[in-house]
Structure 1
């Protein structure tokens, strides 16, 4: 990796810090050559602090370090993407990111679907949706639906109709998300279990 530290005449390049698991952008800092070398050797992200005018390892006072996973340069070799496993909040003001956002896994449309399910569950008295009706029938009915969808998926997996297989897969996942919330959980809780096993 051949980084152009002299492009801006100050010997610094921007370093975008991204969580390796959630893909959330946590912060932006600046590195000189020594900061990058120290980051690689210690596996703790180290910046060049423009206010302190010295190397500064993130978390050296707070303990909220950024454990290095990988470093990449951009196409012009004048900025860095550093993927990390953070310990604690990243922002000095105590938030997960310097944009005051939660650092949690996002699963694209699946996360949106979880929000829709949660909303329909919480407003089930006014809501006449299928989801609300399942919650009204209780945990046994929800669990039964997951079982039915699982069996239907197994049956379709043995055939060659990809469209039916994908639709049954979607049905099973949808009902599983409902079951998770009926038990007080979300997909992020399952993700935590899988991460511990990994």
Structure 2
């Protein structure tokens, strides 16, 4: 089904199943791939130590495997996971945290680009839990706090609309969308699945 190189290895790109962010790139041999399939957690082969390693075995930052896909040449893998903490050994959500461009721009052709960025940022906050972050606060207090905020923000949207106040409505809808994205992250439900449902309904 898949092709290993002359050293018996295949590259594996690990991707967050919800945010679609690339978390890390590692290598698997036949044994680590089989263990990954059997345990539904990522196992890799360390080329430097020449041994298998179970991601999160010591740190607790395991990766629950959702799917494993291979490319058209069958010589590379994409492993979709739900991470239980940072993927990087430096404590970062992703090993690919630094940018050569050092700027964040949004395409004018994509009205909803900010939603992709926000979804990825929420995933990063969940994994890294930076002190002082409001998103960290929500994840540490759990689903009940999140849902309370969703209810509060939905009420604020209603009030703003009843008051015919477009500026207030703009702010309150933004707050509601943010808290909904936090809930989706906590529930491990990608925004793509919600958009897919909207597309299916529109098709009918």
In angstroms, what is the RMSD of aligned CA positions? 3.5
Q: Which residue of structure 2 lines up, in the alignment, with residue 110 of structure 1?
A: 112
- Residues paired across the two proteins, number: 140
TM-score (norm 1): 0.60
- State the 1:85 CA deviation: 0.3
> Partner of 2:2 in structure 1?
3
Please say if residues 177 and 187 of structure 1, whose CA atoms lie closer than 8 Å, have aligned partners that are also in contact: no
The 5-angstrom pairing of residues 169-180 of structure 1 reads 178-180=171-173
Pick the aligned partner of 1:54 from 33, 51, 54: 51
In the alignment, is the contact (CA less than 8 A) between 1:177 and 1:186 conserved in 2? Answer: no
Contact residue 3 and residue 73 of structure 1 kept, 8 A: yes
Structure 1 residue ranges without an equivalent (≥5): 102-107, 116-139, 150-170
Identify the residue that residue 94 of structure 1 maps to in structure 2. 91
Q: Show structure 1 runs of 4+ deviating over 6 A.
A: none
Distance 1:10 1:22, change over 3 A: same
| Alpha-carbon distance between aligned partners in 2 of 1:110 and 1:87, rounded to the nearest angstrom | 27
Quick one: structure 1 residues 186 and 47, their matched pair in 2 at CA, closer, same or farther if it must change by over 3 Å?
farther
Q: Find the aligned partners of 1:177 and 1:188 in 2 and give their Cα distance.
A: 13
Please give the per-residue CA displacement for 1:95-148, whole angstroms capped at 9, x wherever unaligned: 0000126xxxxxx64353899xxxxxxxxxxxxxxxxxxxxxxxx997555358
Aligned residue in 2 for 1:190 = 180
Give the TM-score, by structure 2 length: 0.58
Bigger RCO of structures 1 and 2 (CA < 8 A, at least 6 apart): 2
Matched position secondary structure for 2:32: helix
Gaps of 5+ in 2: 99-109, 118-154, 190-204
Give the equivalent residue in structure 2 for 1:146.
Answer: 161
Larger Rg: 1
Equivalent residues of 1:49, 1:56 under 8 A apart: yes
